[in-house]
Amino acid sequence: MRKVLIISGIFIALFVLFVPAVAVGATARPERPIYVIIVTIDGCRPDSLLEASTPNIDEIVQDAAYSWSAQTVYPSKTPQAHASLFTGALPGVHRYTGPGSRLETETIFQVFEGAGYKTALVDGKGGRIAGLEVGVSYVKNNVDYRWRNGAVYQPGYEDPNGDIRVMENAIQIFVENQPTLMFILLPVVDVTGHIYSHTSHNYLQAIERADQAIGMLVDNLKGLGIYENTLLVIVSDHGMTGTDHGSQDPGDMSILLIFSGPGVRVGKFEGGKIIDVAPTVTALFGLRAPANAEGRNLFAEEPIPLFYVGIAMAAVMVCVAYVLVRRRRAREVPQPASAAVEASG
């Protein structure tokens, strides 16, 4: 029995040592996605999203991993943030600052294309992130959907339905070409914040229309019968403080981050970074991360910290020792002798 207890204690200790702790959430779907779609709601603050009416995103979150406290990069601007989104690297590494500048690192598109998969990019800002589409099979970045009637940067001419039009074009590209990885930039929340402030009713309405656009995407994926096989990532590139962004203010740096689909551990998590998107997506799809990526796979299994392992092992050893001592003492207690009954003469 003593040997059994010792072996059991050792087994328990080894079990505690090698059982991994999940990085995010509690449940997991182990299957790999067939398609990946990443959607940016440009300039969307998480706290404003929670204030707005977003039934489609609310439904997605019910079966997703999500964070309302994720962080973008500094400077918190569209070009730098999207370069970090696509590469998993910080601005000091990718060195992309906007249209015309050169990207110094590999993108998630190049990883997928290099593995033989087709990719697509739809930039609703009409080339605001030009230069990040290197190697992409299908590109739509020649229309700025923020404005109507050909006007550009004229308050009052912003198109409240711009995100709907972006999504209509994106869905058409997806249906016609079936890219394995697709990126869609929804631009209207950002431009609305610049004009009216993040505290305005207009800003909330823009978020609600972005939610409608995402609902259109989900409905189409379900109609095609591939929603369950699609990894859907919804992220904002930066926040907004008043009518501007770009600083390290929490309102500028805080972003939303949602993962829904195969391989995702469902549940709310704290933190996360925009540079984690590329390593997480590639890992879930079974590919390597982009070269020079500095982010991490949010769903990687992480070992329990040694401190807690030590406590668990010590507890097991104490329990085993206690049982052994009790058994030894029980054997050492003298048994009462039977009194000899002698016949009297």
Residue 17: pLDDT band (50, 70, 90) is very low
Task: Tell how far CA 26 is from the center of its chain.
Answer: 15
Note whether 197 and 89 are same-domain residues.
yes
Do residues 249 and 317 share a domain? no
Tell me the per-residue pLDDT of 197-214, one tens digit each, with 9 for 90 and over: 999 999 999 999 999 999
Establish if 290 belongs to a structural domain: no
CATH (domain of 219): 3.40.720.10
Closest among 81, 100, 96 to 41, alpha carbons compared: 81
Are 97 and 157 members of one domain? yes
Are both 72 and 174 inside the same structural domain? yes
Q: Answer yes or no: do 178 and 319 share one domain.
A: no
Structural domains in the chain (count): 2
Over residues 71-84, the pLDDT tens digits come to 999 999 999 999 99
Range of the domain at 108: 27-285
Per-residue pLDDT at 87 exceeds 70: yes
Residue 339 lies in a domain: no
Is 61 in the same domain as 13?
no
Tokens of 182: 């697709």
3-state secondary structure of 110: helix
Contact 192, 203 (CB under 8 A): yes
pLDDT confidence of residue 129 = 97
3-class SS of residue 113: helix
Type of residue found at 27? T
Q: Return d(Cα 138, Cα 141) in angstroms, integer.
A: 10
In sequence order, what are the residues at sequence separation of 6 or more whose Cβ sits closer than 8 angstroms to the Cβ of residue 318?
Answer: none
Dist CA 220 CA 218 (whole Å)? 5
pLDDT of residue 156: 79
